[in-house]
A and B are shown apart, each in its own frame.
Chain A
Amino acid sequence: MREILYLQAINEALAEEMSRDETVFIIGESVQGSTFNTTVGLVQRFGPDRVMDAPISENGIAGAAVGAATAGYRPVADLMFGDFIYCCMDEVLLKAAQWHMLHAEKVNVPLVFKAAIGGYSGLCNEHSRCPEAVVLHHPGLKLVLPSDPYDAKGLLKTAIRDNNPVCYFYHKQLLPMTGEVPEEEYTIPFGVADVKREGTDVTVVATSFQVSLALGVAAEMEGKVSVEVIDPRTLEPLDLDTILESVRKTGRVIVLDEDTLRCGIGAEIGMQIMENAFDFLDAPVKRVGAANMPIPGGVLEKTCLPQPQDLANAITDLLGMDRFELAVQTAGVKLL
């Protein structure tokens, strides 16, 4: 099968869906030139009316997407950095998320908030966040976190076709990742986790870039510990069954998440495991996530964000084994 980049997979999904459905359009800051090359070439193909370069107006962009969606279009609002969602919380969290239910299901809001998330690039607090917990705390938004090119394409196509608002967060560290993506049309349903690596000793639940991190650690620990890596792919809807099935097998689970540890997805998934599979646990659920502090830039960033060594330590601690040092203890490459 052919291999393409993660960013190309996103680009292909956009192009295919725009060809398929004339109501799909992109609106955002610098989407014609494309900040992360995910929308590159689309304006030449679909014109400036469907690939709209907006001013720096996050409220305006997100709100316009809500308006256009309620009036029959399928906008993809490109918020550039995931951190910029904080500028338009009213439009994202109180309007897009809540419009459909509050208006008694008379109006649909089919849109995608597309944004590049994540750290490991030393870009400091406002260009590094993974605002997953913020989104999940406002029911009404679906949340997609692709971890490889195949998922990036198939999930984005599903997101655009969904009749609800979807936050599609792609990770900056994954942009240059290559992976097999078929030429043929395919979509990936929401709420179906993918077992990225099978194992028997411990389950690691991770999304987005953390899947790569977990797979790296699992590979390095092979022969010592058998690690199963589960990628829910969408946190809303969440495929709890696949996670529980794995927990029943391994009896030990770590939720690895790049978002801030406190009130993060680790707390949520960990609690759901406690509620639904307590009797199968051989040890308390463990969380590995970003430290409870603003994400620093520069060399200090790595002390805040979860690193491979942190996961390795959590695994050995959970199994009552001696800790050992990984060959590569920290993750990430500089973006620019």
Chain B
Amino acid sequence: MRFKKKDLVRLYRNLVRARKFDQAAIRLLGEGKFTSFFHAAYGGEAPGVGGTTFLRQDDYIYAHHRGHGIPHAAGKGADLFSFMAEHCGKITGSCKGITGFHACDPEYGMLGAGGTIGSAFPVSVGWGLAAQKAGKGQVAVCFFGDSSAGRGTMHEGMNMAANWRLPVVWVCENNGMGQFVPIKDAYPLEDIASMAAAYGMPGVVVDGQDVVAVAEAVMAAVERARKGKGPSLVECKCLRFRPHVEGAPDWVHAEVRPAEEIERLKKRDPVTLYRKKLLKQGILTEKELEKIDGEIDAEVQEMERFCETGAYPDPSILQNALYAD
């Protein structure tokens, strides 16, 4: 897919929205306003944003757990206000405050989420199956972390999708860390993408800090899937600037990750890199970038008011909620 100027601007807007909403989430958790936990996306927003911004509204996505899917929801155009209110446990949340962290916006192809790592693969196969059966050219994009590649569910899901040539795109967000365990100590090869060969599907590695590179690679795989040529695997080498979970030490095995290393990683901040690129290519001016940033700051403020004013759910909402009619 060749991106026009408006596409690149949209990509920037979504990337900054992902960043600022994720930062707001870190802050709101710190202020005690979240009812659950938070696994920040900070530093690794580009795969979620680049992998979703140019999808169709009716395409399905299974968001990755970093940022709990804030980058993915931002790119997909799903309702971020209700997603944040969900984290605040409010009735205005995407799941009425029942989960504390699940995105759910069926109108935008987000049919829900899970908490067990690796459970995305089989469910995404089901969405791919539904897309194939419906025959409307939809795709299912499944985002997963490097560590969930350790689950057997990945083998089952990738094998089934490849075998049935389902319109599924597997996007690995490889930030090098599975909770406290470096991927280099959990997988013997360099690239998760090399696993694609086992299923006879293309597997590519892209710079996951480069939101445009992610978008190009994912959309190439999406177009292939829409044509009925089956699944692909796109591995995004990305970074994580925060600990696995907010509030916990940033463990690497039994050592805490040094602050200097984080500073070194921050030289490859996906937002900064993309800003520089847009300026260098003359797509946006500093002033235009600042205008977008300002608009998003205002949106974040509005989101916080939305979260603040929402009521907590009454326990009665659970009374007849177990089953559908």
Interface residues of A (CB under 8 A from B): 25, 27, 49, 52, 54-55, 57-73, 75, 90-91, 94-95, 99-110, 139-140, 142, 163-164
Given contacts A64-B129, A108-B324, contact A103 B112 (CB under 8 A): yes
Bound together, the chains give a CA A72 to CA B317 distance in angstroms of 24
Given contacts A60-B156, A71-B126, A71-B127, contact A140 B114 (CB under 8 A): no
Q: Are A70 and B112 in contact (CB under 8 A)?
A: yes
Q: Are B323 and A164 in contact (CB under 8 A)?
A: yes
Q: Are B127 and A68 in contact (CB under 8 A)?
A: yes
A75 to chain B, nearest CB (A): 8
A95 to chain B, nearest CB (A): 6
Bound together, the chains give a CA A108 to CA B127 distance in angstroms of 14
Q: B72-109 vs A: 1/0 string, CB under 8 Å? A: 00000000000000000000001110110010101000
Q: Which residues of B from 121 to 169 have beta carbons under 8 Å from A?
A: 121-131, 133-134, 140, 152-153, 156-157, 159-160, 163-164
Q: Which residues from chain A contact B131 at a C-beta distance below 8 Å?
A: 71
Whether B179 sits at the interface, judged by CB under 8 Å, is no
Q: Are A103 and B322 in contact (CB under 8 A)?
A: no
Q: Are B130 and A71 in contact (CB under 8 A)?
A: yes
Q: In the complex, what residue of chain B is closest to A50 when comparing beta carbons? A: B133
Q: Are A63 and B122 in contact (CB under 8 A)?
A: yes
Whether B281 sits at the interface, judged by CB under 8 Å, is no
A33 to chain B, nearest CB (A): 18
Q: Quick one: which of B96, B111, B125, B128 contacts A70, CB cutoff 8 A?
A: B111
Q: Are A140 and B111 in contact (CB under 8 A)?
A: no
Q: Are B126 and A65 in contact (CB under 8 A)?
A: yes
Q: Quick one: which of B99, B121, B160, B325 contacts A102, CB cutoff 8 A?
A: B99
Bound together, the chains give a CA A130 to CA B112 distance in angstroms of 31
Given contacts A70-B126, A71-B127, A107-B104, contact A101 B116 (CB under 8 A): no
Whether B318 sits at the interface, judged by CB under 8 Å, is yes
Q: Which residues from chain A contact B321 at a C-beta distance below 8 Å?
A: 100-101, 104-105
A sample of 9 cross-chain residue pairs with beta-carbon separation below 8 angstroms, ordered by A number, consists of A60-B159, A61-B122, A64-B129, A91-B119, A95-B123, A107-B106, A107-B112, A140-B322, A164-B324
Q: Are B116 and A57 in contact (CB under 8 A)?
A: no
Q: Which residues from chain A contact B157 at a C-beta distance below 8 Å?
A: 59-60, 63
Bound together, the chains give a CA A84 to CA B141 distance in angstroms of 28
Bound together, the chains give a CA A139 to CA B321 distance in angstroms of 11
Q: Which residues from chain B contact A99 at a C-beta distance below 8 Å?
A: 112
Q: Which residues from chain B contact A68 at a C-beta distance below 8 Å?
A: 126-127, 129-130, 133
A32 to chain B, nearest CB (A): 14
Q: Are A103 and B102 in contact (CB under 8 A)?
A: yes
Whether B21 sits at the interface, judged by CB under 8 Å, is no
Q: Are B159 and A57 in contact (CB under 8 A)?
A: yes
Whether B54 sits at the interface, judged by CB under 8 Å, is no
Closest 5 A-B residue pairs measured CB to CB?
Answer: A67-B126, A63-B122, A60-B156, A71-B130, A57-B156
B67 to chain A, nearest CB (A): 19
Given contacts A67-B125, A67-B130, A94-B116, contact A102 B98 (CB under 8 A): yes
A274 to chain B, nearest CB (A): 24
Bound together, the chains give a CA A108 to CA B323 distance in angstroms of 8
Q: B189-202 vs A: 1/0 string, CB under 8 Å? A: 00000000000000
Q: Which residues from chain A contact B164 at a C-beta distance below 8 Å?
A: 52
Q: Quick one: which of A65, A100, A106 contacts B322, CB cutoff 8 A?
A: A100
Q: Which residues from chain B contact A25 at a C-beta distance below 8 Å?
A: 133
Q: Are B98 and A104 in contact (CB under 8 A)?
A: yes
Bound together, the chains give a CA A59 to CA B322 distance in angstroms of 23
Bound together, the chains give a CA A62 to CA B121 distance in angstroms of 11
B300 to chain A, nearest CB (A): 24
Interface centre among B140, B157, B321, B322 (most CB of A within 10 A): B322
Q: Are A60 and B322 in contact (CB under 8 A)?
A: no
Q: In the complex, what residue of chain A is closest to B131 when comparing beta carbons? A: A71
Q: Quick one: which of B96, B116, B125, B323 contacts A64, CB cutoff 8 A?
A: B125
Q: Are A69 and B98 in contact (CB under 8 A)?
A: no
Q: Which residues from chain B contact A163 at a C-beta distance below 8 Å?
A: 323-325
Whether B60 sits at the interface, judged by CB under 8 Å, is yes
Q: Are A60 and B98 in contact (CB under 8 A)?
A: no
Q: Which residues of B from 274 to 325 have beta carbons under 8 Å from A?
A: 317-318, 321-325
Q: In the complex, what residue of chain A is closest to B317 when comparing beta carbons? A: A104
Given contacts A94-B116, A95-B119, contact A57 B160 (CB under 8 A): yes
Q: Are B324 and A66 in contact (CB under 8 A)?
A: no
Q: Are B119 and A63 in contact (CB under 8 A)?
A: yes
Q: Which residues from chain B contact A139 at a C-beta distance below 8 Å?
A: 322
Bound together, the chains give a CA A316 to CA B322 distance in angstroms of 41
Q: Quick one: which of A54, A71, A73, A104 contacts B160, CB cutoff 8 A?
A: A54
Given contacts A60-B153, A63-B153, A95-B119, contact A105 B126 (CB under 8 A): no
Q: Which residues from chain B contact A101 at a C-beta distance below 8 Å?
A: 98, 318, 321-322
